[in-house]
Each structure stands twice: as C-alpha cells, then as structure tokens.
Structure 1
Amino acid sequence: MIDASKLRAGMTFVASDGKLLRVLEASHHKPGKGNTVMRMKLRDVRNGSTFDTTYRPDEKFEQAIIESRTATYLYQMDDTAYFMDTESFEQYEIPTVAVQEELRFILENSEVKIQFYGTEVIGVTVPTTVELTVTDTQPSIKGATVTGSGKPATLETGLVVNVPDFIEIGQKLIINTQEGTYVSRA
C-alpha cells in the first residue's frame, strides 16, 4: 500500500473502484483554510481517458506492479496495433486507442517495451529519442540560421514537429518522444 502523498508522475496504482490508474501529474495543494489535498491528473490505463481529481494525502492505494518486456512493433490494421515479444515470439494485439501517442514515434520493426499488469497488456513505452525522416516541409531558406523561428515538418509517422529553417525533405532527425520535439539532425 502507498499513501497518495507518495504518488508521483509515471506511477501506476489500483483505485478503490478497481480501476488501474497512471499518474500524469501530482502536486500538493494547501488551500487557505481546510485540509491539504493531493491534486492529480490521472489516466485510466484500460480505456485511455484522462481526468483530474484530488485525494487526501493519507489515502492508501495498492501500487500496481508493472512488468516490461522487449517487443517489436509489427504493424497496425484497422483499430489494432500488433507487437511481437522478441524472446518468446508471442504476438500481442493492443487497441490503437491505448497506444495512439506512442504510435506517432515508432515505425514498423521498431523495438519498444510492452507493459504488463499481471497477464494484461496495459501499454507501450517508446525510447526517449527516435530517428525519423522528414517527408514534407517548406523549402529551406538560404542563409537560414539555427536561431530562426522554425517551420513545421511532417515526419514519416505523420508526426508534425517544429524544426529549424535549414531542415530539408529526406533528412533524418532525432526526436524527443517525451515532448514530441526536434532535438537535432541524425
């Protein structure tokens, strides 16, 4: 059991109603009068919905034990994404709604970590940075500097990021998956 005051972003716990919740943001809030509360932004791991709530700091929750296994992203068909365990070659089907954010950063045959709660697949973790190719952007401007305001570029996964003016179609870029931002050229 873990106190609400000890919950931090990234942790997963089981709520009193049996829902599996992941903490997106957590902060201590002391109103002018009244008791201290923990303000939290949570995601329901099973259905993907996010919501804000508050808990008393001394409320206790069961911390979920999340296991990770290395897998390869195979493909997406209709509303399902398919992954394969790199050791056992077992295939996992995950609804695209549950991994929509992560799919913006991964290509077919990319390596990811699949998260399990017991035997239930609950999500996918992508690497901190990925290498993607620019498929569409405005032509580069002669004499453009790094300090320019930048321009939007569409990458091979469909992700659109703001890049410096000198970036051209076909270049490989390193993208930060935590913030969805351009880091550098590969």
Structure 2
Amino acid sequence: MASTADFKNGLCLEFNHDIVTIVEFQHVKPGKGPAFVRTKLKSLTNGKVVDKTFNSGEKITTARVEKRPHQYIYNDDMGYHFMDTSTFEQIPIEEKLIERPELLKEGQMVDILIHDETETPLGVELPPFVELMVTYTEPGIKGDTATNTLKPATLETGAVVMVPLFVDQDIMIKVDTRDGSYSERVK
C-alpha cells in the first residue's frame, strides 16, 4: 500500500483490475478545497493512457514489477523472442507489448517488465538511445544548409527516421527510442 505522497514517474499500481504505471503526475493545492493529485496512468497490458485524479492522501495498491535484462534474438509469427542472459531461457513477447519494435536490433539488450506474482511479461523497455546504420537515404545537396531541413532515411532494422541533410548512407546514427527521432551521428 502507498499513498499519493509516494507517487513518482514509473511507479506501478493496481488500478481497476489492471496494472498501470504513472506517466506523469502533479500535486495541486487549490486556494479553496482539499488538495488532490492529477495523474496520467498507462496500462501495461493494453497501452491505453487514462487521466485520473486522486484525493491527497488516498491509499493506492502498488504492483510488484521487476525489470529483468534480456537479449533480443529474433522475431517470427509467434512474436519477438528474448533470451534471459543469466538462465539462457527464451520467452516470446507479443508486438503490442513493445513500445518501438522497429528499433530492435538482433543482440540488443533490453529490460523486460515482469509481474512478480504471476511471472507474466508486461512490456519491453528499450534503452533510451540505440545506434543503427543508415542503409538507404537520398544524397544531400551540397550547400543546402540554410534551413533545418530533414529527409527520410531507412535504417538496418527497416525503420524510417527523419535525419538532417548531411547524413549519408552507411553512417551510424543514434536514435531516441522514446520518440523515434534522430539524435546524432556516431563517431
């Protein structure tokens, strides 16, 4: 059990017969009336985001969720397959439980959220940035740097990311997995 004073981003709760995580929260103390907490809750089972207001001091049941390191191996019609690096046990996970599956590269390390009581996987957390090779992009025009123009680039995983004009084919780039955007070139 926890109260609204214990809220922090990433805290997992049992809410409406579901397991949710707090995406963002805000304590509000109006001039008149009791204090309350506005939250955005994301379901770990179906990915829906819900706005919910809690009264200040309200008791909430927390869910025990563990992050376990796994290595991405491959995907097929059964889902995406990951291997536990300590036990070498493989588990398949559905595509809907992965935030940005198009950025997964074979051999990449990820964290899998697993519910402690039922031992079921709830989601896959990619690292904040991944380094991927650009396999195809149109060549940039020399001297066209007056504006902050972007062009599409296809990466080794098949994902398409908008990159600046100076990025060419066969260049390693860093991609932000939270929003799928270009971050920087890898030296």
- Please, what TM-score do these two structures have when normalized by structure 1? 0.85
The CA distance in 2 between the partners of 1:4 and 1:184, in whole Å, is 39
Deviation, 1:146, is: 9.1
Equivalent residue, structure 1, for 2:9: 9
Equivalent residue, structure 1, for 2:104: 106
The CA distance in 1 between the partners of 2:2 and 2:120, in whole Å, is 22
SS in 1 for 2:103: coil
Contact persistence 2:68–2:111 (CA under 8 A): yes
The CA distance in 2 between the partners of 1:25 and 1:18, in whole Å, is 20
Cα shift readout 1:130-182 (whole Å, capped 9, x = no counterpart): 11122333321212449633223232334333321111122110112233222
What percent identity do the matched residue pairs reach? 37
The CA distance in 2 between the partners of 1:66 and 1:172, in whole Å, is 34
Equivalent residue, structure 2, for 1:176: 176
Counterpart of 1:49, as a letter, is K
Contact persistence 2:72–2:105 (CA under 8 A): yes
Equivalent residue, structure 2, for 1:52: 51
The CA distance in 1 between the partners of 2:129 and 2:147, in whole Å, is 22
Equivalent residue, structure 2, for 1:25: 24
The CA distance in 2 between the partners of 1:129 and 1:154, in whole Å, is 17
Cα shift readout 1:39-88 (whole Å, capped 9, x = no counterpart): 22211112222222221122211222322222111222236211111111
Contact persistence 2:132–2:172 (CA under 8 A): yes
1:81-160 equivalent positions in 2, closer than 5 A: 81-99=80-98, 101-118=99-116, 119-145=119-145, 148-160=148-160
Deviation, 1:31, is: 5.4
* Structure 2 gaps, min length 5: none
Cα shift readout 1:99-156 (whole Å, capped 9, x = no counterpart): 1x23132112211122211112112121221111223333212124496332232323
The CA distance in 2 between the partners of 1:69 and 1:134, in whole Å, is 30
- The 3 A distance-change label for structure 1 pair 145 and 46 is same
- The 3 A distance-change label for structure 1 pair 28 and 169 is same
4+ residue runs of structure 1 moved beyond 6 angstroms?
none
* Structure 1 gaps, min length 5: none
- The 3 A distance-change label for structure 1 pair 33 and 173 is same
Counterpart of 1:67, as a letter, is E
The CA distance in 1 between the partners of 2:27 and 2:137, in whole Å, is 43
Deviation, 1:5, is: 3.9
- The 3 A distance-change label for structure 1 pair 5 and 179 is farther
The CA distance in 1 between the partners of 2:74 and 2:156, in whole Å, is 14
Q: How many residues align?
A: 184
Counterpart of 1:3, as a letter, is S
SS in 1 for 2:100: helix
SS in 2 for 1:97: helix
